[in-house]
Amino acid sequence: MLPLKIKFKHMKTLIFTGIIAIVVFGIYSFKKPKAEVTLGNKGIEFFDGNFHQALLKSQELNKPIFLDVYATWCGPCKQLKKTTFKDEAVGNYFNANFINIAIDGETQEGQELIRKYNIRSYPSLLILDSKGEVKTRTTGFQKPYILINFGKRIVP
């Protein structure tokens, strides 16, 4: 009888240790991931305001507008934001030469721009003069060098 008690005691210890390990692993697996450390914004800096304010800023600084009309559910839009818009060369070029603004096409303001500029797909990328007239446009995902060449159609 004595060996059975000893085995049972070891079994309880083993089970208890296993439960503790699972709980500890569970706690660390749900731990909030560390925030990404960024050393400054290397990509496009988008204007923090509405489209009318961007037009006024464009007139004030005598720069054309780079307009990104996107949707939150759009895969190519997400890919642009995640890659091309964060590219350092893209940021350097567009920040120096344009007032950059991104508008969600499914907001009230976005719907007005969709009607005004006859936008049919997301993402739609437009370059406008300071009066809001379209100088060039493209749609869909763009690789960094393609987007820079798109901008150079207007600002060499």
Among 40-44, 58-62, 129-133, the least confident range = 40-44
Same domain, 25 and 64: no
Residue 149: pLDDT over 70: yes
Residue 44: pLDDT over 80: yes
Pairing assessment for the beta strands 124-128 and 134-139 based on DSSP bridges: antiparallel
Same domain, 70 and 10: no
Report, as an integer, the average pLDDT of 23-46.
59
Residue whose pair of structure tokens reads 């049972």 in the numeric block: 8
Same domain, 61 and 114: yes
Burial state string for 103-121 with b = 16 or more CB within 10 A and e = fewer than 16: bbbeeeebeebbeebebee
User: What confidence score (pLDDT) does residue 28 get?
Assistant: 53
pLDDT tens column, 90-111: 999 999 999 999 999 999 999 9
pTM: 0.74
Domain extent, residue 56, equals 51-151
Cα separation, 64 vs 45, whole angstroms: 15
User: What confidence score (pLDDT) does residue 33 get?
Assistant: 43
Task: Please tell me what DSSP assigns to residue 34.
Answer: P
Same domain, 64 and 136: yes
